[in-house]
Structure formats: C-alpha cells, structure tokens
Chain A
Amino acid sequence: MSEDRLQVLVLDDEPIVGKRTKPALEKYGLEVEVFVDPAAALRRLDEKHFDVVVTDVRMQQTDGLAVLERVCATGQATKVIIMTGFATMDLAQQALSKGAFEFLAKPFKAADLRAAIERAAVSLGRPVPR
C-alpha cells in the first residue's frame, strides 16, 4: 500500500533539515526517507524509485547538483527539488538547466516545500498529497 503514496527522499548534511521536513511531509501522507550522507542517499536511489528528491546544494562530501545529474541520468520519472541557503540567480539557472524541477531558498516554511512537492506530483501525474 505504501507504494501508492508519493515516495520522497530528503538529503541535507545538516540533520535539522530532515528532522523538520520528515514529519511535515509524513503528516500529509507522503512516504519520506531522510539522509545526511550523500553517498548513502545515492546508494538508496540505486535501490528504490523515488518520485521526488529534495536535496541541499552545498554539502561537505557531494555537491547537490551532482545528485541532480545522477537522478536525471537514470531516466526515471523523478522530480528533483533543490534547496539552498545560498540562493543566487546563477545557481538557480544552473540547477534548472540541469533538470531541477524547483528551487527552494532556505529558510523555508514546511508548507512551501509541500506545495513544491504537490506541483511535482501533478507534473508526474501522481495523486496530489492531501
């Protein structure tokens, strides 16, 4: 049954981000997995299909844009939402040109992330989370 729910992966090397976003998404019926280690997140992406990947850009081990490229390279129907505390027009353009679905500047409200994920669900033809 859980496969019917929108599958979301959240990646940020600051644990607080996953800790705050997970309940805010789960309460509204999304299936959420949270990672602080980019390598572990990439391994999980090889194992399981996610509808939406939400990733930070600046992480100590891996650039979030590399995660974006990796997801796009699989050819799967996965939407990537980029979040960053260093939002610049350059970075946004770079992310969008590489295939990012949306760009979210930190700090953000949980409701803003949910709205972005809802738009991704619509784009994928998946049921919109209630």
Chain B
Amino acid sequence: MSWWQRLFGSRSSSEWKPLLLRLRTTRFRQLLRNYGKLLWLLDDAAEKQAGDYVLDRQYVIALAAKLLDLTDAILLDLNAMTERGHLALYDRRDQLGGEIDQLLDPGRASTTMSPDGTGAVGAGTSVPPSSVDREALSRVIADARPLYRGAGLVVCRGLAVGPVFNLDRERDLARLPAQAILVASRLEPPDDASPHLRRAAAVLIETGKSSGPTASLVRESRIPTIVELPGVAQQLGSGTQVTVDADENTIYPGRLQALVDYYRAERVGSDEEPEYRLLRELRRTVFPLTSATERQSAPGAAGCRTVHDLVYLAQHLAADVVVALLSAAPVNAGAATEIDGGAAGRVRLVDLGGALDLTAADAAAPSIAALRSTPLRALLAGFVASSGPAEHPIAAPDLDASLLAAARKDQACILVRGSGATALIDAQLIDDPEANHVYCQFWSSDGAGDGSAARVPAWSEPLARHKFAIAEVAGGATAWIDGRSATETSALLQELGSMCARLVRPAASGRSGAAAEEKGDAGERRSPAGAGAG
C-alpha cells in the first residue's frame, strides 16, 4: 500500500475525504496551468509560422523542448492525482519525443505566376536584379494608400496581384477564376472545395484563424492569405484590382508593379524556407487533435498520435478525478452544503476555505447571498441572469443539484450538470492578473454522433471571441484563458455562467448526463481517447 493509500484509504473506499478534494483540486489547478501554457504555445506557434514573423531554427528547437517539458509536468500531475494510475502515458510521451528528436535532427529547404502577370509572385519567374530600382520601389510604397496595413492576421505569406472575387456576392466557390483574389466574410470550405480554393492567387477573410483546415490548405498550397480583416468583404467588390503583400500584412488598391518586380527579382515571398518547413512539420507532429476520431478504434495512450492528443487525454483524465470526488461529496455528513441558487437550482458546495459565510439567519436554508467565493458568485450571476424565472430551474428533473462546487474565497472548481451538456469550470479570481485563470471543459451528455456534437461550436465561438485558447473534439472541448484583470475574469465567468444556463437547459427528450454520477460514477464522461489509458 502506497503512502497515498495509507493516508487517504484505498481508491475503493466509500469514505469521502474533504482533504483529498482539496489536494486534488490544487494539483488539478497546477496541471491546468501547464495545459493552458501548452495551448497558448500551440496558438502562438501557428501565428509565428503563418507569415510576418522572422524566426530561426533555434526557435523551433526551443519550442519543441518547451512543449515536451510541459507535457512531462502535466503527466506528473496526472499521476500524482491518480496514484500513478497512468504511467503508461509516459511510454507514449517518450515515443512521441523520439519522433520529434528525429524531426529536429540537423541531418535532415515555388510558386508560379501566370503569363499575364497576375497571381502569386514567387521564384518561378526572374527579372535581373539590376532592373529593380529600390528607391523607386520605396517611393511607390510610400505614396501608396493601403486599404489595410497590419490590421489582419497573416496565415500564409507571399505577394499576389489580381482581380477580386467576392464570394459573399458571387456565392459559388466553383466559379472562382484562376489567379483571382478570393474575398469573403467567412470561409468554411466543404470537403470538396480544395480544387477551387487552390485556384486563388490570394485569400482575404473577415473572420478565420491561423489554424484549422482552411489555414492548413492555404499553407500547403502556398496561397498568400490574411484573415481577421474587418469589413473586407464589404469594401472589395468583384473585379477590383488589388495587390496583396502578405509578407507585410498589407493590401494596396490596384497593381503595384514595382513591388511585383521586386518580388520576382529577389525571389522573396512565397517560397517556404527550411526553418518554416521544419516548424510546419513539428506542428504536424504535435498539434492535431486526432483522438476525437480515433478513440473508438485505438483507445488510451496508444491512440494518442500527437503530443496534443496526449495532454488532452491527461487533462481529461485528471478532470475525471475531480468530477468523481465532487459528485460523491455527501451532504448529510456535512462535507457539502446545499444552497438555494434560485433560477440556477440547487448548488452543492464543498467549502475549502472562505467560500461560504453562514449567518444565523440563513444557516438553515442558505442562499447565494451567503456565498463569498468570488469566482463562484460571478459564474452564478451569469447563470441566474440567463436562466429565466426561478420556478423553471435549470437542473434536470432527476438531479438533486445542478451545480456542484469545491471553492475557496478566490478559487472555484464547478461542475454544471444538465440534460444536454455538462461543464467543468475552474477559475481563480484575485487582484493579480498574472494569477487569474478560467478553464472550462464541456461535453455533450448524449455523446457524439447523434447531433449533440453540433453544440460544440455554440460553446467554442463565443469563447474564441474572448480569446480563449480552445481544443475541440467531437462532442466536447476545453478552453483556457489567463492573465486577465479581476474585472475581466469576473466578466468572463459571468459569460460562461450565461452559456451554461443556455446550454445545459434540459431537453424534453434528453437523458440526464449526471444520472450515473449521482451514484458516485463519473463514467458518463467520455475520455477523448478512451478510458483505458492506464
């Protein structure tokens, strides 16, 4: 018997230990901080690779080392939380680390332009360097009045010239002419869109992000692309001639011939240098979250094809530990206090220190007014504001509480349970922005594949607008944000509470996602790569 088991009893013990919940949530929070750092690194690397950054090989090597260090820390915390229950994940980590080492082994650097001079400009054509007057070039650039400069996010660098094809007005991507500048308010190309999209000389989108299928496609095809360009679909009508300098995150009206000549002569722009290719290959090894589609056929550690799969699984398994402890907190034995959450339904709270202030007046039937935990109060404020009348509480009929929480004055770990979806939220809210964070993990209670997975974008999109780092799988997702002020963090929690109220509302034919948890079983939650990782 390990010292853990001697201290807290065996895992099968039915005796519930508040100290264990305190230790587990503290360790879980530590794990989440590293998980959050890793998500930010993934986002940051996607942005760095995209376009207007100057990076070198050392950056790629240092990035790989940081990612693996964070992975080690996450696996350490998971195994501390589970009494070394997932040591097998280390083996997979070592295998993936070996693949990355091989990739970074030092032993191991095109684009065309149409005859009429439109399209992406690269190394395919040559003009003698002497023909490019650099002073004239700088004058042309200085005199030009850019439509956009530094406003968007470069997804793929390079230069392109051509007429605009406005997808919002033309509607059919199949009609995109070769070497046109594709402009759209948003672009979610269907699976069969690749051949059409590859005809574009450049892509300009109002929304979009630096990662995802569209970003991968344009990078693979070396199509200069800028996203997050406000109003571009309104401003640029079909047929308008523009010059897109995605190296500089700039769009000029008309054709800047001197710039085109310079790109041709100096062979700059759309060629992919070895360092950027190495980063792309590293991202391919580390980033894609493939376990969502593979979990049935290859469960557990073996199903983790990437580092991201592995850490996603680890944080999910760690969350399972916290959920199981929260769900099993007995009210009768005094471990948890039931609070009347009004429209939010009943809240079962384990006070880990300063979360509750029971006065004589409300000790018998405590209400939200007795709560002192700032993150829990913020979440409930948003929850209640969006819940409607108190006579229609959120909780599914067969639950005895809609919210379970383990909280301190400035920290809270909250499980929100409903028929359609369930969420686990962890937050710290103090005066020091560096210490604040919000984490949420949500999943459809009915499982993926029956339409419930469609709820995920409803969660992800508002969180993405608030700049959360997000990892999505079918039917579930996690999101992380930190470094915000107390006011901002409180507002984010209220927004999350509001989303919880909307999304966990019981459906008429819904099945309770927490019915099993009421029996002390967290098995309703599905691990992204199966439950048998250990």
Interface residues of A (CB under 8 A from B): 1-2, 5, 12, 14, 16-17, 19-24, 26-29, 31, 58, 85-86, 106-111, 113, 129-130
* Chain-A contact segment, one of B137-145, B234-242, B464-472: B137-145
Closest CB-CB distance, A88 to chain B, in whole Å? 13
CB-nearest residue of chain B relative to A13? B56
The DSSP consensus for interface residues of chain B is helix
Centre residue among B55, B56, B57 by max chain A CB count within 10 A: B56
Q: Which residues of A contact B262 (CB under 8 A)?
A: 23, 26-27
- In residues 431-489 of chain B, which contact A (Cβ within 8 Å)? none
Contacts known (A24-B248, A107-B48); A29 close to B56, Cβ less than 8 A: no
- CB contact between B275 and one of A14, A28, A58, A113 (< 8 Å): that residue: A14
Contacts known (A106-B56, A109-B54, A111-B150); A27 close to B141, Cβ less than 8 A: yes
- CB contact between A21 and one of B54, B135, B249, B273 (< 8 Å): that residue: B54
Bound-state CA distance A5–B138 (Å) is 11
Bound-state CA distance A9–B274 (Å) is 23
The DSSP consensus for interface residues of chain A is mixed
Whether the Cβ atoms of B259 and A113 lie closer than 8 Å is no
Whether the Cβ atoms of B138 and A29 lie closer than 8 Å is yes
Q: What does the 1/0 interface line of B263-285 toward A look like (CB < 8 Å)?
A: 10010100001111000000000
Whether the Cβ atoms of B247 and A106 lie closer than 8 Å is no
Show 23 residue pairs from A and B whose CB-CB distance is below 8 angstroms, ordered by the A residue.
A2-B135, A14-B56, A16-B57, A16-B274, A19-B268, A23-B262, A23-B266, A24-B247, A24-B248, A26-B134, A27-B137, A27-B248, A28-B141, A29-B138, A29-B142, A58-B58, A85-B56, A85-B58, A85-B62, A106-B56, A109-B52, A130-B141, A130-B142
- CB contact between B56 and one of A16, A23, A31 (< 8 Å): that residue: A16
Closest CB-CB distance, A112 to chain B, in whole Å? 9
Closest CB-CB distance, A124 to chain B, in whole Å? 18
Centre residue among B58, B247, B266, B276 by max chain A CB count within 10 A: B58
Bound-state CA distance A29–B137 (Å) is 7
Centre residue among A17, A19, A20, A106 by max chain B CB count within 10 A: A20
Q: Which residues of B contact A129 (CB under 8 A)?
A: 138
Asked whether B53 is an interface residue with its Cβ less than 8 Å from the other chain, the reply is yes
Whether the Cβ atoms of A16 and B273 lie closer than 8 Å is yes
Can you add 17 more A-B contacts, CB < 8 Å, to A23-B262, A26-B138, A130-B142? A1-B135, A5-B135, A14-B57, A16-B274, A17-B56, A21-B54, A23-B263, A24-B54, A26-B137, A26-B266, A27-B141, A31-B134, A85-B62, A108-B53, A109-B52, A113-B54, A129-B138
Q: Which residues of B contact A113 (CB under 8 A)?
A: 54
Whether the Cβ atoms of A23 and B53 lie closer than 8 Å is no
Closest CB-CB distance, B151 to chain A, in whole Å? 12
Centre residue among A1, A28, A58 by max chain B CB count within 10 A: A28
Q: What does the 1/0 interface line of B247-260 toward A look like (CB < 8 Å)?
A: 11100000000010
Whether the Cβ atoms of B248 and A110 lie closer than 8 Å is yes
Closest CB-CB distance, B203 to chain A, in whole Å? 20
Q: Which residues of B contact A107 (CB under 8 A)?
A: 48, 53-56, 59
Bound-state CA distance A59–B53 (Å) is 20
Bound-state CA distance A16–B275 (Å) is 7
4 shortest A-B CB distances, which residue pairs? Answer: A29-B138, A107-B55, A130-B142, A14-B56
